[in-house]
Structure 1
Amino acid sequence: MFAAVGVAGFALTLAGLAFVRVYDNQLIRQTESELIAQGAVVAEVFRERLRATVPEGAYGRERTAPWPFPIPDDTRLRPILPSLRASDASLPPGDTPRPSRVPAEPLSHAAGLQLTPLLEQVRAATLAGIRVVDTEGVVVASSSSALLWTTLADRTEVQRALRGEPVSVLRRRVADPEDTPLASLSRDTGIRVTVALPVLEGDRVWGAVVLTRTPMTFAKATYADRWNLTATGFVLLGAVALMSLAAAALVGRPVRALVKQTRAIAMSDPSGFEPMARPVVAELAELSESLAGMATALRDRNQYIRSFAANVSHEFKTPLASIQGAVELLRDSADAMSPEQRARFLANVDADARRLTRLVQRLLELARADSMTATPAQVELGPLLEGLALRARADGATAIHVTAPPAGLKVSLPQEVLDDVLWQLVTNARQHGGDTVRVDLSVEQAPEADLVRVVVKDRGKGISESNRARIFDAFFTTARERGGTGLGLTIAQSMLRAFHARLELLPSDTGTTFAVVAPVPRLQRK
């Protein structure tokens, strides 16, 4: 949602900038088009008046510049298209035309004198400065009589027009000292549009028409349409207000619910362990579910720590009480005891001390298993199972059998982790069934397609139904008199969990069947 809002904001900003740029271009081209239309009419009028006085023979200059715009199939058409853009480089402001050192061409001068009153009337209506120059760039007609008989021959656009090429340029405008900010919005800009059109008679250039006008600005266009823009602004303001209310409902309410959920979690209120209902925003729903899951995990962990502490206390209390009782008896009645009695009490103290040592060692192993960090690793099952069987036979197991897995089959577990877990299962089978109990090691496909089972099955007396539910509980053991601590399977399960594997107790008609369920490497998955 937030990504969509960001993209929408970026798109709106980009669209606004593009609109302003396009609108500026349109305003400049609109002014250019108007000047082209006026200039074409003035050029035609000047040509007609000049034609009535031009004698037979060549007059003017030969056109040397090609026509810059596409010419239609009808050769009688010669279109002049607007081409200016707001991003075009602006030429320096034109200096005040200076009096011409060369006299005006007489025929052009005569035609221009007749045209000047008309140009002054046109300027009053269109606000455009219009000048007609002869073939040498001398002004022979102007919308301002003060500019008559000055020269524009030094201007680039005039030079190109006298070669037969219509030209449009932007020139920087120098503010007039008497300009005031509110005097004329049409003059409130820093550029002028200048159009220079050649006066053509066939392939001859008889002069040029130069038109100049300040284009309409964005500010003036906005001011002229201020009432419509104001109404549109109110509509947009209403839309933004509605969007704000919707955002408050869609985001604000779920955020407040998240704050309430975190406070409930801090107070161990059961409502904090449930994700909030109907959050609408997917990210907030995911955050609420994560908070609920984290709180549940912390609660379960806390309960595990409490239970574990209670079990540790219980497991330590019995041997410590036995040791304390034996020490008190030996201290108070050692002289009255026979050597056999003292030896028996000392043997009990030694056995209980050894049991405490084993418990401490197993607790350290469990702590390491719980804090184990998974690192990518693989182990091939065939050699590992064969090595485990040889190790068990060397340790006295006489009936251990391995069903060879497919060649090259691997699981995503470190070798030492899988070896420790399987050795624990083999040791448990021997502990409950003796060295002669048959133990089978095999590999089979797990219900999940990307997992395999390493199965350890013995033919011993099995596990009673009442004990199956507690088999993975810490400190639960049926071999306490033989030194069992009840932590072996708990440690194995913790080590496997770090690598996304698990230990399962499978149904079995005879004996006990455990399975290590582990993922296979990605390259071996079908």
Structure 2
Amino acid sequence: MRLTSKWIGRKWRPRLATVVVAILILVMALPLVGLFFFRLYENQLIRQTEAELIAQGAAIAAIYAQDVRDAGIAAEKLGAPMPGPSGDSSRNVNPDPLYRPIEPQLDLASDHVLPTRPAAMPGTADPAFAAIGARLSGILDATQKTTLAGFRLLDPRGVVIAGRDEVGQSLGEVEEVRAALAGRYASALRLRIPDQPAPPLYSVSRGTRVRVFVALPVAVDGQVAGVVYVSRTPNNIIKHLYGERGKVTLAAIAILGGTLLIGLVFLRTVSRPIYALIDRTERIAAGDRAAIRPLDHHGTREMAELSAAFLDMAEKLQARSDSIQTFATHVSHELKSPLTAIQGAAELLRDSGAAMDNTERRRFSNNIVTDAGRLNLLVRRLLDLARAENLAPSGESTSIGAALALLPVDNRLAVRVEAGGDLALRMSAENAAIVLANLIDNSARHGATLVSIAAASPGGKAIILVSDDGAGISPSNRARIFEPFFTTRRSTGGTGMGLGIVLALLKAHDGMIALVDSERGTRFEIILPVA
């Protein structure tokens, strides 16, 4: 079973490539899906069309009203009185009589779309109003050529006096015209009669099937003098898209190409390095040391940092594994020798019985005791090494003098502090005493009679030199002195663990130790943080 499946469980999770493809499809579809969510824009087009028709109708109404005044038409020929601020059209009429703004009212989402406009009925226009209509027909025709709006100018009874084919016919029964003849502004959405079949794409838009109708009352001396009836088909996005279908196709191709490009970039910069790192992980887990090397392609800085961190961790784990394996080999070898000796002596004592004299029996018994003592010493030193390697700094501080005060008096070896005895070191007194005790014991075992210690603190670090006058260390052994179990005094009880414990303790306190050249004896240089 793969290691990944062990930790992630059986729960289904999509692959990175699946997620990327799904996101890219969604991104690619957004422009197309957006076509079905443009009702708000369509409604804005309806409102815009109504506002334009109000502006055009207001201009025609002003001209029409002025012509009525100039013609001196009697008041009894005018229509219904205009409602005041408190009338039905109060929402459209400002209390200030100088300003009567009309706001667009149509809403494509909520307003009911009426049937197509009813046909005009027979009617007769008043000659005075008919004359005015005849004079304004040219203005209406010229305006229609520019605005594309349909204009109908009605007299106070709703008879068309200007407006192409329906002149002389009545529109008074049309709902919005009837409201305008009563002095109220009215607008309506009605089904349009297209001049030609609409493209199939138009079926998705409601705004392409309607026409906006606006009826504005013309006020003269507080009475309705007529109605300006204007209509036009609103602009719509579908018509624009259909007209620009070539450009829309190019845009779709560009979107598709951009999506594929994004997918390719994502695959190269994210997906492929991740899969390569997963492959490296599986190879390293299988013991392939050649897999611990940088990826051929990282893609992004974050992926390069992740890969570097992972490979660094793999190298450290491999080094730790090698160290543990080597350490285990050394431990088994060191423990095997005394165990074999103990077993052999015990078997001789058991098998020889009464045939062995007291001298031989004592000699074998002493061998057992000696080897058991060595085993006991090895176990204690291994425990000391394990504690040193897993030690967490306590944050305490001490000095060389305080650490030396904890050591037992040794008549065989003199210790002299030449400088820096009171320098504060970032290390507890007990751990500093262990470091010095191992170094002093090592010097004593190599024939030294004096150990000199000198300390200084240049640059915020304490540099401690520990020198002795012993036999020194041979050049062939200098590179191995910090290896666990390496010793040249095995016959006299040496375990080869002392310097390993010193190194582990110093590393745990952000320090280090190194063997430096000396004219006589041995000299170690210790570097520790200053408290």
Same fold (TM over 0.5): yes
1:471 maps to amino acid: I
1:391 maps to which residue? 406
Question: Cα 1:488–1:209, aligned 2, differ >3 Å: closer, same or farther?
Answer: farther
Distance, in Å, in 1 between the alignment partners of 2:296 and 2:202 is 63
Shift of residue 465, structure 1, vs aligned partner:
1.9
Q: 2:417 aligns with which of 395, 398, 401?
A: 401
2:256 maps to which residue? 237
1:53 maps to which residue? 71
Question: Cα 1:250–1:120, aligned 2, differ >3 Å: closer, same or farther?
Answer: same
Identity of counterpart residues, as a percentage?
34
Q: 1:485 aligns with which of 495, 503, 507?
A: 495
Q: Does 1:274 align with 2:293?
A: yes
Shift of residue 315, structure 1, vs aligned partner:
0.8
2:442 maps to which residue? 428
SS state at 1:354 partner? helix
Question: Cα 1:386–1:421, aligned 2, differ >3 Å: closer, same or farther?
Answer: same
SS state at 1:379 partner? coil
Cα deviation 1:337-363 (Å, max 9, x = unaligned): 554544343222212101101212222
Cα deviation 1:371-415 (Å, max 9, x = unaligned): x2757x5233xx3433202112656664242744787x564x666
The Cα RMSD (Å) is: 5.8
2:517 maps to amino acid: P
1:306 maps to which residue? 325
Question: Cα 1:281–1:332, aligned 2, differ >3 Å: closer, same or farther?
Answer: same
SS state at 1:440 partner? strand
SS state at 2:515 partner? strand
Q: 2:469 aligns with which of 460, 464, 484?
A: 460
Q: 2:377 aligns with which of 324, 340, 358?
A: 358
SS state at 1:274 partner? coil
Cα deviation 1:295-341 (Å, max 9, x = unaligned): 43343333323322221122112212322333244345565655454
SS state at 1:438 partner? strand
Cα deviation 1:473-501 (Å, max 9, x = unaligned): 11012333443321233234334445554
Distance, in Å, in 2 between the alignment partners of 1:211 and 1:384 is 103
Aligned residues: 472
Question: Cα 1:360–1:40, aligned 2, differ >3 Å: closer, same or farther?
Answer: same
Distance, in Å, in 1 between the alignment partners of 2:215 and 2:66 is 18
Question: Cα 1:46–1:90, aligned 2, differ >3 Å: closer, same or farther?
Answer: farther
Question: Cα 1:151–1:503, aligned 2, differ >3 Å: closer, same or farther?
Answer: same
Distance, in Å, in 1 between the alignment partners of 2:39 and 2:437 is 78
SS state at 1:296 partner? helix
Question: Cα 1:406–1:499, aligned 2, differ >3 Å: closer, same or farther?
Answer: closer
1:226 maps to which residue? 245
2:379 maps to amino acid: V
TM-score normalized by structure 1? 0.66
SS state at 2:406 partner? helix
2:325 maps to amino acid: R
Question: Cα 1:373–1:353, aligned 2, differ >3 Å: closer, same or farther?
Answer: closer
1:378 maps to which residue? 395
2:395 maps to amino acid: Q
Distance, in Å, in 2 between the alignment partners of 1:193 and 1:399 is 110
2:284 maps to amino acid: I
Question: Cα 1:94–1:221, aligned 2, differ >3 Å: closer, same or farther?
Answer: closer
Q: Does 1:151 align with 2:184?
A: no
1:166 maps to which residue? none
Q: 1:31 aligns with which of 32, 49, 55?
A: 49
2:483 maps to which residue? 473
Shift of residue 94, structure 1, vs aligned partner:
9.8
Distance, in Å, in 2 between the alignment partners of 1:291 and 1:121 is 79
Distance, in Å, in 1 between the alignment partners of 2:512 and 2:225 is 99
Unaligned runs of 5+ residues in structure 1 are: 70-79, 98-105, 160-168, 522-526
Alignment of 1:171-182 (within 5 A): none
